[in-house]
Every structure is written in structure tokens, then in C-alpha cells.
């Protein structure tokens, strides 16, 4: 019985070291595979209870574990949508075959890195057929609130490279100096004109035409102007008229003293804004607060539009897409504007090593890994997302080769045990001759 158990223990040793050699060969084969997580083999002894003082060898058992929580170093690339996770967390992806079914029920897989590029349908996918998943943003670039304990809100990231985008103008700021001498008695009372471009809801260029008419008194100085605004989109219809009075005191000379509304929205002294109704909707124009010199002023003898600013932009073509550290996918247009179109969350689990490992460095949550949660990148326990980067394999080739030498020696030793048992059994057989 003891000799037989020795034989069984030797066989178990061969099997355990063969398993370890298989994991080592897998690790070495994937030493250049981006995002690969090494497999670790551990041995556990088997103890069989003995009776009557005899000892029975139990042997050894091998168990393997993929160390998903171990991370490789990051290397830079030239592709903006090469992504890697720096720190804790994983990227949600889907199989291209699931996405092409278009049934809206895409199984969420997890990975820590990927080289994503747009395919013929605009999906950000890798060469191995993994499609990046994210939460879609609204047309204004804001991302709605999605549930964080389920992948139901995630959609394949699809980039429309032929997309056009424009933003309507909603705000104007006027920094204009009016000549104080034009409101003196005896002046010519010349009307000053200013045209400011704005963009309507369809990205079409229109103009707000502004005229400043001085009030010329019979004697003295009036310090008063009538500002009239017309909209080119409304065939020059008047959208606002205001009477501006300027201060001529030593402390606040040249700044607005009062604004009286004739037509249009009322002047707000707290913000310095007036609200007019253009063809495309409300348009807020800042002319400056009372007593401040950052808007309309009346100084000296020259008309000078010193600062005109506005929001909005004309229609432009998408030029490229980038992903920032917080996972926001931003589209850039040739007009200089950019817009958030998706947000990529990072998925975290209590026990990453408990996930089910699949092909292409992808993983699935399991009961052993615990329930997942979708975090904003850089928030909570998760790290951030690095673009223009890939994660290298987590394998240390030198360490694996060292382990291979140890495994080879252990395998040879177990084979020697089997050979010795065989010789002992032969001697037992030779007793009867």
C-alpha cells in the first residue's frame, strides 16, 4: 500500500508540474500581448489519513488563477483612440457580432486596454472585434443620469465622421465707446452704426444692426444716446430701442448712468443685460452695468468698438475624436468648437480575479467577482483613462523562465520517484524465483 501511494504521489507530481508548465508557456507566449494578465499556478498538498501506523502518500494538486488585478506598464501610441486604464477599473466593450444584430441587448464584456478605430459603420472597434461602450450625450453635450449597477444604459460608441455641427448664438457682449463730443450743443449729431454677426438655429449667419443716435441739446451737453437694434433675419425689423444716459461726474465719468427701455426687453442693472427677441429666439446682449466701464462708455471724440464677443458658431465638419481622462468622448470640428458625444465609464468589482476570462483579453463578471458598479473615470476607487496609450502584458519573462527551470527540475524529480518505485516493485517480484 505504501509503495503504491508513492507511485500515485509521483504521478500527481507529474500532473501538477505539467499544469504549471502549461501556465508558464501560456504566459511566455503572451509576453507581447497587450493587456494580457498572467496565470499563476499554486500547489496544495493532499493528506490521506493513515491507520495502524502506516503512512499513505497523498500527493499534490495544482490550481491556477488569472491575476486580472495585476497591471502592465503603459506605452504611448499615435492613435487618439488607443485607450488604457491607469489604476483600478475596466473598460466596457461588446462583441461586434452582438452589435451587428441591432437588437439593443449587447452583452457587456470588460477589458483594460484596446486599440479602437472607426469601422465602416462608425463604431469604435478593435481589430479583434471589440466595440467600445459608453453613455450617449444629449445634443447640447450633457450626459444624462444613467443607472450605475446595470449595463442597460450603455450603447456602442458610434462616430459619424460626416457629422455637421453648429451652435446658435444666445449671448452678445458689446464693448463700445461713443464720442462724448457728439452730444454737445452745436455738434452735427452724426449717427454711429455697428453690425454684429450672429448664428441662427440652423447655423446661418445673420446680423444685429445697431445704430447710436446722439441727442443734441440747444445748450450744454445731453450725454444721451438712443440705441436702436434691428435684425437682418426679420428684414430689418426693430427688435429693441433704448435711451442711454451717461455719467459725467469726476468719479464715474463716461460710464452708464441709466438705461430707459422704449421697445424690447427691459434692462437688468444687476447684470447689465438686455434681452431681445431675434428670429431664432431670445438673444441676451450685455451692454455693461451702471457705473462700470466694461460695456458701453462715452468718452472723448471717437467712436470705437473695442470689444465685441459672442457665443455660437457656424456649421462645421468633424475633424477628429478624442477621449479624456474622465472618459468623455469629444468630437472636434473645423470651426474650432468641440462637443461631448459619449461618456465611457469604468467598471469596478470587489474581486476582479474572480471574473471569467475569455478570448481577446476580455472578462465577464461572475458570482465570485461580486456585483459590478459603473463609475465615472477618476471618481471613487477607479483610476482614469489614458488615450494615445496601450497597456503591455503583465508577464515578466525572466521570472517565467526561472519558474520553468524550477518546474523542469521538479518534474524530473517526480519522474525519478516513479522510476524508483518501479525498481522496488521489480525487486518485490524477484523475491519469488
**Confidence (pLDDT) at 167:** 84
Pairing state between β 171-178 and 297-298: parallel
Query: With 90 as the cut, is the pLDDT of residue 336 above it?
Result: no
Q: What is the homologous superfamily of the domain 169-311 according to CATH?
A: Flagellar hook protein FlgE (2.60.98.20)
What is the percent of the chain where pLDDT is above 90?
A: 77
**Confidence (pLDDT) at 433:** 65
In this predicted structure, which of 52-61, 294-303, 329-338 has the lowest mean pLDDT? 52-61
In this predicted structure, which of 57-71, 237-251, 256-270 has the lowest mean pLDDT? 57-71
- The answer to whether 56 and 1 are in contact (CB under 8 A) is yes
Mean pLDDT, to the nearest integer, of 235-264?
95
Kindly report the average pLDDT of the chain as a whole number: 92
Separation CA 75–CA 34 (nearest Å): 10
HEC string of the chain equals: CHHHHHHHHHHHHHHHHHHHHHHHHHHHHCCCCCCCCCEEEEEEECCCCCCCCCCCCCCEEEEEEECCCCCCCEEECCCCCEEEEECCCEEEEEEHHHHHHCCCCCCCEEECEEECEECCCCEEECCCCEEEEEEECCCCCCCCCCCCCCCCCCEECECCCCCEEEECCCEEEEEEEECHHHHECCCCCCCEEEEEEEECCCCCEEEEEEEEEECCCCCCECCEEEEEEEEHHHCCEEEEEEEEEECCCCCCCCCEEEEEEEECCCCECCCCEEEEEECCEEEEEECCCCCCCCCCEECCCCCEEEEEEECCEEEEEEEEEEECCCCEEEEEECCCCEEEEEECCEEECCCHHHCEEEHHHEEECCCCCCCCEEECCCCCCCCEEEECEEECCCCCHHHHHHHHHHHHHHHHHHHHHHHHHHHHHHHHHCCCC
Would you place residue 160 in the very low, low, confident or very high pLDDT band (cuts 50, 70, 90)? Answer: confident
What is the percent of the chain where pLDDT is above 70?
A: 97
Residue of 378 and 313 predicted with greater confidence: 378
**Confidence (pLDDT) at 56:** 77
pTM over 0.85: no
Query: With 60 as the cut, is the pLDDT of residue 1 above it?
Result: no
Nearest to 346 by CA among 330, 362, 325: 325
**Confidence (pLDDT) at 104:** 72
Query: With 70 as the cut, is the pLDDT of residue 324 above it?
Result: yes
Query: With 80 as the cut, is the pLDDT of residue 52 above it?
Result: no
Nearest to 325 by CA among 25, 89, 2: 89
Tell me how crowded residue 409 is: count the other CB atoms within 10 A of its CB. 11
Mean pLDDT, to the nearest integer, of 214-221?
95
Mean pLDDT, to the nearest integer, of 25-46?
94
Separation CA 293–CA 67 (nearest Å): 65
Would you place residue 312 in the very low, low, confident or very high pLDDT band (cuts 50, 70, 90)? Answer: confident
- The answer to whether 385 and 325 are in contact (CB under 8 A) is yes
Separation CA 203–CA 276 (nearest Å): 19
For the stretch 63-114, pLDDT in tens is 999 999 999 999 999 999 999 999 999 999 999 988 888 777 789 999 999 9
**Confidence (pLDDT) at 169:** 92
Separation CA 263–CA 243 (nearest Å): 10
Mean pLDDT, to the nearest integer, of 258-280?
95
Nearest to 76 by CA among 347, 392, 323: 392
Which are the contacts of 150, defined by CB distance < 8 A and separation ≥ 6? Answer: none
Mean pLDDT, to the nearest integer, of 126-147?
93
Would you place residue 50 in the very low, low, confident or very high pLDDT band (cuts 50, 70, 90)? Answer: low
Would you place residue 177 in the very low, low, confident or very high pLDDT band (cuts 50, 70, 90)? Answer: very high
Residue of 7 and 133 predicted with greater confidence: 133
**Confidence (pLDDT) at 354:** 95
**Confidence (pLDDT) at 335:** 79
**Confidence (pLDDT) at 57:** 81
Amino acid at each position: 500500500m505504501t509503495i503504491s501511494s508513492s507511485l500515485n504521489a509521483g504521478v500527481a507530481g507529474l500532473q501538477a508540474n505539467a499544469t504549471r508548465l502549461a501556465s508558464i508557456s501560456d504566459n511566455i507566449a503572451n509576453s507581447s500581448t497587450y493587456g494580457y494578465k498572467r496565470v499563476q499556478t499554486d500547489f496544495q498538498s493532499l493528506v490521506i489519513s493513515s491507520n495502524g501506523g502506516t503512512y499513505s502518500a497523498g500527493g499534490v494538486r495544482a490550481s491556477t488563477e488569472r491575476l486580472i488585478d495585476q497591471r502592465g506598464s503603459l506605452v504611448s501610441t499615435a492613435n487618439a483612440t488607443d485607450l488604457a486604464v491607469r489604476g483600478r477599473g475596466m473598460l466596457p466593450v461588446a462583441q461586434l457580432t452582438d452589435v451587428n444584430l441591432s437588437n439593443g441587448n449587447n452583452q457587456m464584456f470588460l477589458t483594460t486596454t484596446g486599440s479602437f478605430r472607426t469601422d465602416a459603420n462608425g463604431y469604435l472597434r478593435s481589430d479583434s472585434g471589440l466595440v467600445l461602450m459608453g453613455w450617449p450625450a444629449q445634443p447640447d453635450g450633457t450626459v444624462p443620469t444613467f443607472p450605475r449597477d446595470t449595463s442597460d444604459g450603455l450603447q456602442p460608441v458610434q462616430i459619424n465622421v460626416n457629422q455637421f455641427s453648429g451652435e446658435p448664438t444666445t449671448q452678445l457682449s458689446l464693448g463700445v465707446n461713443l464720442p462724448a463730443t457728439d452730444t454737445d450743443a452745436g455738434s452735427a449729431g452724426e449717427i454711429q452704426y455697428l453690425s454684429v454677426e450672429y448664428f441662427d438655429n440652423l447655423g446661418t449667419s445673420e446680423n444685429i444692426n445697431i445704430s447710436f443716435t446722439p441727442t443734441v441739446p440747444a445748450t450744454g451737453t445731453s450725454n444721451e444716446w438712443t440705441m436702436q437694434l434691428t435684425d437682418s433675419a426679420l428684414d430689418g425689423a426693430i427688435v429693441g430701442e433704448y435711451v442711454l444716459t451717461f455719467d459725467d461726474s469726476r468719479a464715474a465719468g463716461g460710464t452708464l448712468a441709466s438705461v430707459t427701455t422704449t421697445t424690447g426687453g427691459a434692462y437688468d442693472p444687476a447684470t447689465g443685460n438686455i434681452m431681445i427677441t431675434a428670429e431664432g429666439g431670445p438673444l441676451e446682449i450685455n451692454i455693461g452695468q451702471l457705473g462700470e466701464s466694461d460695456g458701453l462708455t462715452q468718452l472723448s471724440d471717437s467712436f470705437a468698438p473695442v470689444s465685441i464677443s459672442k457665443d455660437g458658431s457656424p456649421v462645421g465638419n468633424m475633424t477628429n475624436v478624442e477621449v479624456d481622462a474622465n472618459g468623455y468622448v469629444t468630437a472636434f470640428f473645423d470651426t474650432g468648437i468641440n462637443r461631448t458625444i459619449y461618456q465611457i465609464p469604468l467598471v469596478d468589482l470587489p474581486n476582479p480575479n474572480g471574473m471569467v476570462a475569455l478570448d481577446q483579453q476580455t472578462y465577464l463578471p461572475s458570482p465570485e467577482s461580486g456585483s459590478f458598479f459603473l463609475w465615472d473615470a477618476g471618481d471613487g476607487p477607479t483610476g482614469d483613462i489614458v488615450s494615445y496609450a496601450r497597456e503591455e502584458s503583465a508577464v515578466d519573462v525572466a521570472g517565467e523562465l526561472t519558474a520553468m527551470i524550477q518546474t523542469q527540475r521538479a518534474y524530473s524529480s517526480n519522474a525519478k520517484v516513479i522510476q524508483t518505485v518501479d525498481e522496488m516493485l521489480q525487486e518485490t517480484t524477484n523475491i519469488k524465483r
